[in-house]
Structure 1
Amino acid sequence: MSFPHSTIEGYPRIGRNRELKRALESYWAGRIDQETFLSTTHALRIDTYNHLRDLGLSEDYAIPADVAYYDQVLETALTVGVLHAADLDAEFTLCRGNDTDTPLEMTKWFDTNYHYLVPELSGDAFDPAPERIVRIFEEALAAGHKVRPYLVGPVTLLALSKPVDFSRVDELVAAYKTVLAALSDAGAEWVQIAEPALTADLSVPDPELAAIAGEAWTDLLSATDRPNVYLTSPYGSLRAGLDALAKAAPEALHVDLAPATLQADPDYPARVRAAVGEQTTLVAGLIDGRNIWAGDLRAKEQVLSELGTKHVSTSVSLQHVPHTLNDEKSLPVDVAGWLSFADEKIAEVQALVAGRFDAAEAFARSDRAVRTRAESTKLHNAVVAKRVADLPEGQVQREPAFAQRVEAQRSLGLPKLPTTTIGSFPQTAEIRRARTLHRNGELNDVDYDARLREEVRDVIELQERLGLDVLVHGEPERNDMVQYFAELLEGFVTTDNGWVQSYGSRCTRPPIVVGDVSRPEAMTVEWAKYAQSLSDKPVKGMLTGPVTILAWSFTRDDVTLAESADQIALALADEVADLEAAGINVIQIDEPALRELLPLRADARPEYLDWAVRSFRLVALNAAPTTQIHTHLCYSEFGQIIDAVAGLDADVTSIEAARSRMELLEDIDETFHSEIGPGIWDIHSPRVPSVAEMAELIRAALVNVPVERLWVNPDCGLKTRSYAEVEPALRNLVLARDEVVAAL
């Protein structure tokens, strides 16, 4: 059977109105039973297929069934038998843990802000459960849709599992054969299998990984009882893996041809055309699934012509972009014309397949977007450009050196193993309701401000009562750690409904960097001053760093990320100066996404890390030695960027370490001079760790970190937790610290 001409690699699964999020959280909270949860999520899947068909993906197998309750990696691992869950609750225990079981580790999916659950390989044989994916196919078929079942590929699954063990690839391929045979028996004619690991330099060198992939895929495709295979390679260009996959000759092969991929590898289209044989349908991933700018269809048409194919897709799954511009009523009219969300990208795919004459209106819209954006006065700011031009070239360095700053900061009077939190406290229903009322004009500024101040006072009182040492104001005024700043900085626009899944039920609304960035006025100072006035203990000023602001936004494609990072760094440096002037002596500059933007190819990483470190240092460059600068990183392979994290030259670095049981600290060596706070409470799970469990983790941390450099804190901010979880967990955290200190 021929492959459809217009398709996508995936579609947002949270629902246009976040139906999946609400169903998950209602089920976890006990507000709905399992039958209601299953019927709700079934309806969401069928509604999505109907919607995609109505958008024009009407050919058989044009619609990917990349569905999962929580995560696509977990779904694949359960399907092929790498992991096992006896029922739905057991599956969610793998995701979230419970009172007795800890959840799987979670980390970033390639260089995106999506988090996946890390499969843990045991010594047990793989025991496939193909009924999971067969059920997805059959329910769609019953509703009148021939959808394309989706799996993460065997090479990628092993590359992302723990431990990485490619000696089991033959065993895993056999498990995939079982699953494909079951799909074939159910009548599926196409299956989609994604191998993004082959576009990245991971723990195994690219030529070695390509050789593994070539053998695995030759074996897998040799099976006769299987559907046709649509093999995809999102998130960048294939190198050694291109020939390996082309020689294996799947029925269809997708390649990522997004603007960022072509900029990094301009010869990629020519190499693809030379490598892929006539027996394989080449599918051009020309429509950018990672960013939200309207595509330049004329430029993409040229690439399509060079490839000699008539099959078009998105570069990656559209799970990374919002559903549709039709839900946005507040975007400036000119800016809206430059944008393309998931549904609009589907129209771009179809326009490329149809061609400029049959899709003249779509090409005209593309031309207009490209022209009006280039001509807009919103893009450039002469004052900002001069400030950036006046910066010193190369790396910058805060003075004095760390050792002298440590001495100056003893004036803070902190105890051994000081305790703190990462910043946010629970966003209660009352706070969210007040924010909605204020946004809708039903709560005036004075009353809204009073409500927020009441929350800050309660948060400070709670921390003092529990005995924490360095306090935070809890951030009740912030809807999101990036969007909050985007709404106050020039050069950004924000959306009303541009929700994107981060993990599980967690969704964010990434802002959009439209032009040069500047700070019209102070953003956090009044809240920090008020919180500090309520306590004699230090209260942290809380800023989001420039790399994270970029990583969790949709960025410009007309300037480099390094240039945007410098602009944001200068705006934040102004904020640091104002916080210091207001008497704030501890300032946290969060960079949880530092690892996230790390290029997938090793040869591009040094340049990225150089400008990323520079932008952070610019923020704190002129801070007084008595000002203690904190930073925070979470859910990333800390060891991969240990030198860069050390190079940030923060005074205190907090990291995620609870799920990995402190193994991240094994990468700490004499080059890492910062004080360090490895998280001892995994806040992404609802369970409350005991005093004994937390004390054990503190002692494990002391194996690699001297007592004078160790802090005690949660893994991440507490925004998504409830006070019923936060108060006992923080109490246990302080008691665990006290127990360990007493035994020193």
Structure 2
Amino acid sequence: MNIFSHILGFPRIGSKRELKFSQEKYWNNEIGINDLINIGKKIRKKNLKIQKSSGLDFVCVGDFAWYDHVLSNSMMLGNIPKRHINLNKNKIINIDTLFGIARGFSYKGNLSHASEMTKWFNTNYHYIVPEFSKNTSFKFIWKQILEELDEAITLKFNKIKPILLGPVSYLWLGKVVDKEKFSKLELLDKILPIYKNILFEFEKRNIDWVQIDEPILTLDISKKWLESFIYSYNYLYNKNLKILLTTYFGNIYHNIDTIKNIPVDGIHIDYINSKNDINNIMKNISKDILISLGVINGRNIWKSNLKKIYEDIYFIKKLKRKYFISTSCSLIHVPLDLSLEKNIKNSLKKKFSFAIQKCKELSLLTKSLKESNKEILDDNLLDNSQKNNLNKHFYYIKKNDFCRKSSYKIRRKKQKKSLKIPILPTTTIGSFPQTKKLRNVRLQFKNKKIDLKKYNLEIKKYIKNVIYIQEKLDLDVLVHGEPERNDMVEYFAQHLEGFIFTEFGWVQSYGSRCVKPPIIVNDVYRKKPITLKWTKYAQSKTNKLVKGMLTGPVTILLWSFCREDISKSIVSKQIAMCLRKEVMDLENAGIKIIQIDEPAFREGLPLRKKFVKRYLSWSIEAFKISSSSVKDKTQIHTHMCYSDFNNIINSIIELDADVITIESSRSQLKLLNCLKKIKYPNAIGPGVYDIHTKNIPDVNNIKIIIRKYIKTFDINNLWINPDCGLKTRNWKEVKKSLNNMVKATKELRNEI
């Protein structure tokens, strides 16, 4: 019996982040469109060669994106917000249109704001949210998928598998922008003909299998949405083209009664998340339907125990049904190539597997299954021989460690007396521009080209200048700018025990933004203070308040590649205890405001409702362990960004931070409706402008936004700040934007 291997998608940033650098050069007018296009072609060609040379039976087309694959799908369907159609005099829809939707655009003095960005299910990848109105029209105008398919055919690749985001999931992931309410499913009949046309184009090119991603089938969705799958795929059925209905990030057994009746040729199952139900799932799916099993974890970097997988899935071969083997999800969530890492000890390195290595694991596993010979497999079992010293580094946590000494009402009075800040206090989220000079200083120090004394001098210069700039702007609460930090997670991990780091382990977060997640290989503990030195220095340079800036325990955990042999709950509390000590050190040094950022808090939420309570329990505990040791007069802030918080707002309240700063400008202030209903009790700083765009916010527009906030919140509990950190912007943009923010705030104070 034939068994074929394939993956659900491959990293698209290039081995040395070529896509990122070419995007940014294009945006800065340093290269032209042809240069950018050629970089994309080189990356795609290399990716196809890697998959082929790894021994995979199918290669992927359609997993490349110039910014985000959901945005690519919107472009493909001609679903372009009206404000972005008139970006140029010829009304041409091109790659600049795509970038304009993602980043915002300014044309002849008119600003077109960027579309909302939010987390892709429970990952650290962000997608651009499609916008829908009842009268939205669709047209197949962006033919990237066909161009890249023809490109692969021209390059003589065989067994090409195109990838599409499915029509039902696409609609689910979007948002309604009409004031008049309507069901997004009303648009289904408008987009299905376009999908059918694209499938016909695949058929003309003699494609055998097409992968159509419908990840929402792992969620708890209504009967109406479930029924739309049967309707849609009946419409899309093509006897000459096989559809692989693809699910990932979770189990599908709870929706099996619908899934078994969807007229497709194959179904991909995330085996990593479905092991306990795989037999029941298989029993419910007709033997005429091919099963693709996602047996290699696409979201972590540990090697697979191939012999164990072989033994677990060999029963399918005995059933004599058709099946493929694959990754659990796309490999865009892991780094590209382990062989690039020269600084990781071999004893640890042999335990890891990045995207290229996972392709090779799949190929080897396929060979062993075809030959019914598991002896050709290396036993890649994750070595759990790391010694757990929990008693040494993680003491028993008492109930009192989970809460502040007094209620927020009492704390608020003491903080008002201690902090003496004005009404509508202005601040920033934490980071300031990471200039080329600053990055070079850190690189020189890392490579030992400058000594510690020279490095410290340069960091002090930056901090001193940042304090001066903020004082000149007349911000009320200042930050030190984080010049010593390369990344908000990696920096903290570098100063804690239990982590190791890669040199080229980059993973796309959104657009040109890439992160390099640390790897947790042992128990986590703190030997010495992390932020104290630079925070104290910044505070010594001003009479204004300076916030201490920490990354929270849940974010450090979720934005790292975690061990799989102990629970995330335990690791989160280990990290929380480290941060608790850091918070106490800052307070003892006279720092009166401490911000503990948790941008990953929402993304860690399980996709199924029945698992949510357990996650929220340990994640809230971790945050409160880190934040609850301080006196009442010390103010704890937290920051969250780019997620839909409406369904967990009560848990955010339970965190009991004195102030939460939160993204809201891209989402068009939709969070306000939720916060109105629950009467958020503590102080809040909803962002007044979007930092992920070059657009400079107008004073009057900021005033309009702040007035909306004043109508929603107690003005005494309202803070004014940007959406997020400013490290990705340049100083010219930052100064103009913050100047307008402060000016708008002062004008409103005078009106009150």
TM category (shorter chain) comes to: over 0.9
Equivalent residue number for residue 338 of structure 1: 351
Equivalent residue number for residue 50 of structure 1: 49
User: Within 5 Å, which residues of 2 pair with 1:127-146?
Assistant: 127-129=139-141, 131-146=143-158
* Aligned-pair CA distance for 1:124: 2.5
CA distance in 2, matches of 1:152, 1:4: 25
Per the alignment, do residues 359 and 481 of structure 1 end up closer, same or farther by CA in structure 2, a change over 3 Å counting? farther
- Tell me if the contact between 2:554 and 2:601 (Cα under 8 Å) persists in the aligned partners: yes
Pairing partner for 2:325 from 298, 312, 333: 312
Per the alignment, do residues 394 and 171 of structure 1 end up closer, same or farther by CA in structure 2, a change over 3 Å counting? farther
Equivalent residue number for residue 193 of structure 1: 212
CA distance in 2, matches of 1:475, 1:530: 12
* Aligned-pair CA distance for 1:239: 3.2
CA distance in 2, matches of 1:477, 1:634: 22
1:102 aligns to 2:113 (yes or no) = yes
Deviations 1:638-694 (A, max 9, x none): 112100111100000000001122221211145521100000111111111111111
- Tell me if the contact between 2:294 and 2:329 (Cα under 8 Å) persists in the aligned partners: yes
- Tell me if the contact between 2:517 and 2:559 (Cα under 8 Å) persists in the aligned partners: yes
Equivalent residue number for residue 494 of structure 2: 487
Equivalent residue number for residue 724 of structure 2: 716
- Tell me if the contact between 1:127 and 1:175 (Cα under 8 Å) persists in the aligned partners: yes
Pairing partner for 2:701 from 693, 716, 719: 693
Deviations 1:507-555 (A, max 9, x none): 0000111121100100000110000000111100000001111111111
1:235 aligns to 2:249 (yes or no) = yes
User: Within 5 Å, which residues of 2 pair with 1:652-731?
Assistant: 652-668=659-675, 669-670=677-678, 672-731=680-739
Deviations 1:160-187 (A, max 9, x none): 0012611222322222112212222344
- Tell me if the contact between 1:397 and 1:621 (Cα under 8 Å) persists in the aligned partners: yes
User: Within 5 Å, which residues of 2 pair with 1:315-394?
Assistant: 315-355=328-368, 363-367=377-381, 370=382, 373-377=383-387, 379-385=388-394, 387=395, 390-392=396-398
Per the alignment, do residues 692 and 345 of structure 1 end up closer, same or farther by CA in structure 2, a change over 3 Å counting? same
CA distance in 1, matches of 2:6, 2:373: 17
Deviations 1:332-379 (A, max 9, x none): 222212111111111221222122778768632414xx3xx22233x4
What RMSD over aligned residues (CA atoms) do the two structures have, in Å? 1.9
Moved more, 342-351 or 579-588: 342-351
Per the alignment, do residues 670 and 8 of structure 1 end up closer, same or farther by CA in structure 2, a change over 3 Å counting? closer
Equivalent residue number for residue 13 of structure 1: 12
Pairing partner for 1:734 from 739, 742, 745: 742
* Aligned-pair CA distance for 1:498: 0.3
Whichever residue aligns with residue 732 of structure 2, its letter is A
Per the alignment, do residues 90 and 310 of structure 1 end up closer, same or farther by CA in structure 2, a change over 3 Å counting? closer
- Tell me if the contact between 2:307 and 2:374 (Cα under 8 Å) persists in the aligned partners: no
Equivalent residue number for residue 180 of structure 2: none
Whichever residue aligns with residue 376 of structure 1, its letter is Q
* Aligned-pair CA distance for 1:715: 0.5
CA distance in 2, matches of 1:140, 1:724: 43
1:251 aligns to 2:259 (yes or no) = no
1:429 aligns to 2:431 (yes or no) = no
CA distance in 2, matches of 1:690, 1:571: 41
* Aligned-pair CA distance for 1:130: 6.2
1:183 aligns to 2:192 (yes or no) = no
- Tell me if the contact between 1:351 and 1:359 (Cα under 8 Å) persists in the aligned partners: no
CA distance in 2, matches of 1:155, 1:591: 31
- Tell me if the contact between 2:558 and 2:600 (Cα under 8 Å) persists in the aligned partners: yes
CA distance in 2, matches of 1:209, 1:351: 39
CA distance in 1, matches of 2:467, 2:3: 59
1:409 aligns to 2:415 (yes or no) = yes
Equivalent residue number for residue 460 of structure 2: 453
Pairing partner for 1:220 from 236, 247, 259: 236
Whichever residue aligns with residue 741 of structure 1, its letter is R
Identity of aligned residues (%): 38
* Aligned-pair CA distance for 1:321: 0.2
Pairing partner for 2:174 from 139, 153, 161: 161
CA distance in 2, matches of 1:337, 1:380: 23
Per the alignment, do residues 454 and 130 of structure 1 end up closer, same or farther by CA in structure 2, a change over 3 Å counting? closer
CA distance in 2, matches of 1:212, 1:246: 14
Whichever residue aligns with residue 349 of structure 1, its letter is L
* Aligned-pair CA distance for 1:48: 1.4
CA distance in 2, matches of 1:651, 1:315: 40
* Aligned-pair CA distance for 1:462: 0.3
* Aligned-pair CA distance for 1:115: 0.1
Whichever residue aligns with residue 143 of structure 1, its letter is L
* Aligned-pair CA distance for 1:393: 5.7
CA distance in 2, matches of 1:132, 1:325: 30
CA distance in 1, matches of 2:260, 2:64: 27
Whichever residue aligns with residue 366 of structure 2, its letter is V
Per the alignment, do residues 345 and 126 of structure 1 end up closer, same or farther by CA in structure 2, a change over 3 Å counting? same
CA distance in 2, matches of 1:133, 1:666: 38
Q: Which runs of 5+ in 2 are unaligned?
A: 86-92, 177-182
Per the alignment, do residues 392 and 736 of structure 1 end up closer, same or farther by CA in structure 2, a change over 3 Å counting? same
Whichever residue aligns with residue 345 of structure 2, its letter is P
- Tell me if the contact between 2:426 and 2:720 (Cα under 8 Å) persists in the aligned partners: yes
Pairing partner for 1:278 from 284, 287, 293: 287
* Aligned-pair CA distance for 1:82: 3.0
- Tell me if the contact between 2:290 and 2:323 (Cα under 8 Å) persists in the aligned partners: no
Deviations 1:82-132 (A, max 9, x none): 337611111110110112111110000000000000000131322123632
Equivalent residue number for residue 62 of structure 1: 59
Deviations 1:428-462 (A, max 9, x none): 00011111111111111110111011000010000
CA distance in 2, matches of 1:130, 1:401: 55
* Aligned-pair CA distance for 1:304: 1.5
- Tell me if the contact between 1:646 and 1:671 (Cα under 8 Å) persists in the aligned partners: no
TM-score by length of 2: 0.93
Equivalent residue number for residue 76 of structure 2: 79
3-state SS in 1 of match to 2:131: coil
- Tell me if the contact between 2:480 and 2:534 (Cα under 8 Å) persists in the aligned partners: yes
Moved more, 243-252 or 429-438: 243-252
3-state SS in 1 of match to 2:5: coil
3-state SS in 2 of match to 1:182: helix
- Tell me if the contact between 2:306 and 2:379 (Cα under 8 Å) persists in the aligned partners: no
Whichever residue aligns with residue 230 of structure 1, its letter is L
Per the alignment, do residues 184 and 361 of structure 1 end up closer, same or farther by CA in structure 2, a change over 3 Å counting? same
1:512 aligns to 2:519 (yes or no) = yes
CA distance in 2, matches of 1:362, 1:714: 56
* Aligned-pair CA distance for 1:331: 1.4
CA distance in 2, matches of 1:242, 1:170: 24
- Tell me if the contact between 2:50 and 2:356 (Cα under 8 Å) persists in the aligned partners: no
- Tell me if the contact between 2:639 and 2:660 (Cα under 8 Å) persists in the aligned partners: yes
Deviations 1:448-494 (A, max 9, x none): 11101100001000000001000000000000000001011111111
Deviations 1:600-634 (A, max 9, x none): 00000011111111111111111011100000000
Equivalent residue number for residue 210 of structure 1: 226
Pairing partner for 1:294 from 299, 303, 328: 303
Whichever residue aligns with residue 280 of structure 1, its letter is I
CA distance in 1, matches of 2:484, 2:512: 22
Moved more, 684-693 or 270-279: 270-279
CA distance in 2, matches of 1:79, 1:4: 33
CA distance in 1, matches of 2:663, 2:103: 16
- Tell me if the contact between 1:269 and 1:306 (Cα under 8 Å) persists in the aligned partners: no
* Aligned-pair CA distance for 1:556: 1.5
CA distance in 1, matches of 2:679, 2:566: 34
- Tell me if the contact between 1:230 and 1:251 (Cα under 8 Å) persists in the aligned partners: yes
Equivalent residue number for residue 88 of structure 2: none
3-state SS in 2 of match to 1:539: strand
3-state SS in 1 of match to 2:244: strand
- Tell me if the contact between 1:9 and 1:64 (Cα under 8 Å) persists in the aligned partners: no
Per the alignment, do residues 740 and 3 of structure 1 end up closer, same or farther by CA in structure 2, a change over 3 Å counting? farther
User: Within 5 Å, which residues of 2 pair with 1:467-546?
Assistant: 467-546=474-553
Deviations 1:234-281 (A, max 9, x none): 1111134333233223222110011xx14xxx5321122112222221
